[in-house]
Amino acid sequence: MAILGSGLGGSMLACILARHGVSTLLLEGASHPRFAIGESLIPETGLRMRIVADKYGVPEIGWIGTFHQVRKHVSSNCGVKRSFGFMYHRPGEENRPEEINQFGTLAPPVGPDSHLFRQDTDAFLAALSTKYGATFRSQTRITAISFGEDEVELRADSGDTFRAKLLIDASGMRSMVSDQLGLRDEVPRFRTNTRAIYTHMTGIRSADLLLNPEAQRDLISPLGQSTMHHVFDGGWMWVIPFGNHRDATNPLTSVGLMLDRRKYPEPRGTPQEEFRRIISAYPTVARHFADADAARPWVRSGRIQYSSKHLLAPRLIQLPHAAAFIDPLYSSGMSVLIAAVDLIAEELLGAVAENDYATERFKFMEDVVNRGFDHYDTVVSGSFDSFADYDTWNAWNRNWVMGSLLGTFGPLSLLMRYHKTKDRLHLQQTTEPGRIGVLGSHLPGVIDMTRASRADMDAVIEGRLTHREASDRIFARFGAIDFLPPYMGFGDPKKTATATFTLLPGARHVLWYRRHGDAVFRDNCDFPLSTYALDSAGFMLGEARDAWRRSFSAVRDVFSADNGDWRHTAPALAAHPELATAVPALAAHHSGGAPLQSSPDLQDVSKGDRSEAE
């Protein structure tokens, strides 16, 4: 197997395939560490990472999926994310505190989410792939790809040649495979039409300091520990701090400005000049960036959307970010990616066992990804339309909150059921048609609600409804539906923070669905609360134990240089002995009963030589 691109998706797949004995070649044209956007996790994405880790026997993938694990095991350069925060702005006016919306992420033991410092996390996963047996070649720029009937041949600018039974394109926006095979739509099919200006900055204070103390008390969690969004007519800005917790070692904040090309069609001045000119119209935003300086060169794009009808071709699978992209709003690309990694890994293990790489066997993955992108496009494009008026935005964003809530509960319920029973059937269920979607795109009720809200927004654009009339309709519809808890206030314009997910409020959500949900929503949202409570207790005890160990080591080191700490640094698998039997069992599931056999190791190549991969 050859994987082109060593970002999160490509490296995760390399780890999984190599862990299962598949001869895997991971190719990277550049080198790590490197800058990448896509830095904010959402609860659904983190949970799916943890499920993928358990399902395929790569526990380190689960570390990326939750803040405390990524801080402990991967990098203290990553930030914590306890909520999504949105501040609405009007030109020439300070933000009105009642126009701040929040949506909480999960609390421990499965949360909170992370702000991923991608140069650390991507490098970690790429290196990890070699531990599991993959061959990783960085600074290997592929210049030609030939697709044959039984193999793919890749040629590098160094003269090296590689052959594989299948190519996974994880190269992203600048995919040479898409260009070569003409896979991209000439005009993106998405309604969203935006461009970007972004960089990393220093000198940005917490957004909480923009508010008076009374406004701060109304928040469900600090804005400085959220993925912060400044929203205005014509665009939005992300503010993703990495240095927002006590153990932080990173002074940087990721900052990006997304502009609606219908209202900001052409760049004006340098990227920095345009950024400063736009934010100067909004006093609260201008104060937020008064002391900020760019820590790396600014990047500015043209239209950022691209799309493809197909992610598949003979001997080729594209990861979602190589085929399509919408907008960073709601971290849409990351959640689609992890769902696709699960689907591709599951089907690939069967393909290797049967030596059958027919395009048709991966069609379901393509359908799920395209459905997810189209749903996200509806939610994101409607958001840009609603930014023109706070009342409409306040109503519209409930569509995203609804999808995030229900999309999170699905994988959470499967993970908790697995933790209680250790029955791997619960992990296998993640890719069933009725469970695999992003932002609730597999749930008919969610789709119906979003489409109805989209129709209201279209009526505003066409002049058939005012913004107030559209927002009233959306709120009334949310107030009438029976699959969202009434106490969360989806139909109440004054309820700008609809949910928190600490232990007791989270239990309340589960109990409501257990008592009031129909069969579909009970299955999606109900799970054993006793297991969740035990996992919470285990998390707290584990953190206390780790703190004691650090304290003991510090005191010991003052008096003695000798220690046995090196004896306790075995690979992660040693700490999870159940995976030693889980991985062969999963392989047997795909190969019809016989565990997969390890493939021959890839040979080092020199100029003119050939290397073969599954």
Give yes or no: residues 478 and 592 share one domain: no
Extract the runs of DSSP E, i.e. beta strands, from 34-108.
79-81, 83-88, 100-104
For 71-90, the pLDDT digits (tens) are: 999 999 999 999 999 999 99
For residue 119, give Cα distances in angstroms to 33, 75, 173, 426, 519: 5, 10, 18, 33, 43
Could you give the CA distance from residue 394 to residue 492 in angstroms, rounded to a whole number?
10
Q: Which of the residue ranges 152-166, 207-221, 355-369 would you say has the lowest mean pLDDT? A: 207-221
Give yes or no: residues 160 and 244 share one domain: no
Nearest one of 247, 341, 296, 290 to 118, comparing CA atoms: 296
Q: Which of the residue ranges 390-404, 516-530, 564-578 would you say has the lowest mean pLDDT? A: 564-578
Nearest one of 572, 517, 558 to 405, comparing CA atoms: 517
Is residue 110 a part of any domain in this protein? no
Could you give the CA distance from residue 333 to residue 39 in angstroms, rounded to a whole number?
11
Is residue 546 a part of any domain in this protein? no
Q: Which residue has the higher pLDDT, 569 or 539?
A: 539
Q: What is the structure's pLDDT at 215?
A: 78
Confidence label for 34 from pLDDT (cuts 50, 70 and 90): confident
Cis check for the bond before 251: say yes or no (omega within 30 of 0). Answer: no
- The CATH number given to whatever domain includes residue 255 is 3.30.9.100
Q: How many domains does the chain have?
A: 3
Could you give the CA distance from residue 44 to residue 379 in angstroms, rounded to a whole number?
16
Where is the domain boundary, 464, 499, 527?
527
Residue 96 exposed, middle or buried by CB count within 10 Å (0-12, 13-18, 19+): middle
For residue 472, give Cα distances in angstroms to 120, 161, 462: 45, 62, 17
Give yes or no: residues 234 and 261 share one domain: yes
Residue 37 exposed, middle or buried by CB count within 10 Å (0-12, 13-18, 19+): middle
Could you give the CA distance from residue 465 to residue 184 in angstroms, rounded to a whole number?
36
Give yes or no: residues 321 and 342 share one domain: yes
Percentage of the chain exceeding pLDDT 70:
93
Give yes or no: residues 445 and 510 share one domain: yes
Residue 63 exposed, middle or buried by CB count within 10 Å (0-12, 13-18, 19+): buried
Confidence label for 334 from pLDDT (cuts 50, 70 and 90): confident
Give yes or no: residues 180 and 208 share one domain: no
Amino acid at 271: P
pLDDT at residue 610 tops 60: no
Give yes or no: residues 398 and 471 share one domain: yes
Give yes or no: residues 360 and 397 share one domain: no
CB 106 within 8 A of CB 43: yes
Is residue 100 a part of any domain in this protein? no
Length of the chain: 614
Is residue 544 a part of any domain in this protein? no
Confidence label for 613 from pLDDT (cuts 50, 70 and 90): low
Where is the domain boundary, 240, 267, 300?
300
Give yes or no: residues 25 and 137 share one domain: yes
For 490-538, the pLDDT digits (tens) are: 999 999 998 788 999 999 999 999 999 899 999 999 999 999 999 999 9
Question: How many Cα atoms sit within 13 Å of 320 on the Cβ side?
Answer: 29
Amino acid at 515: R
- The CATH number given to whatever domain includes residue 134 is 3.50.50.60
Provide, for the chain, the percentages of residues in helix, strand and coil under a 3-state DSSP scheme, each rounded to the nearest 5. 50, 15, 35
User: Phi and psi of 457, rounded to 5°?
Assistant: -65, -40
Q: What SS3 class is residue 225?
A: helix
Percentage of the chain exceeding pLDDT 90:
86
Give yes or no: residues 201 and 337 share one domain: no
Where is the domain boundary, 266, 300, 334?
300
Place of tokens 């290397």: 611
What tokens does 82 get?
């306890």
Residue 100 exposed, middle or buried by CB count within 10 Å (0-12, 13-18, 19+): buried
Is residue 538 a part of any domain in this protein? no
Is residue 536 a part of any domain in this protein? no
> Which residues is 198 bridged to in the sheet?
256, 299
For 240-270, the pLDDT digits (tens) are: 999 999 999 999 999 999 999 999 999 999 9
Q: What range does the domain containing 519 cover? A: 389-527
Is residue 108 a part of any domain in this protein? no
Give yes or no: residues 439 and 493 share one domain: yes
Confidence label for 27 from pLDDT (cuts 50, 70 and 90): very high
Sequence-distant (6+) residues with CB within 8 A of 463 are none
Give yes or no: residues 127 and 44 share one domain: yes
Q: What is the structure's pLDDT at 213?
A: 86
CB 260 within 8 A of CB 382: no
Is residue 4 a part of any domain in this protein? yes
Q: What is the structure's pLDDT at 408?
A: 94
Could you give the CA distance from residue 240 to residue 39 in angstroms, rounded to a whole number?
8
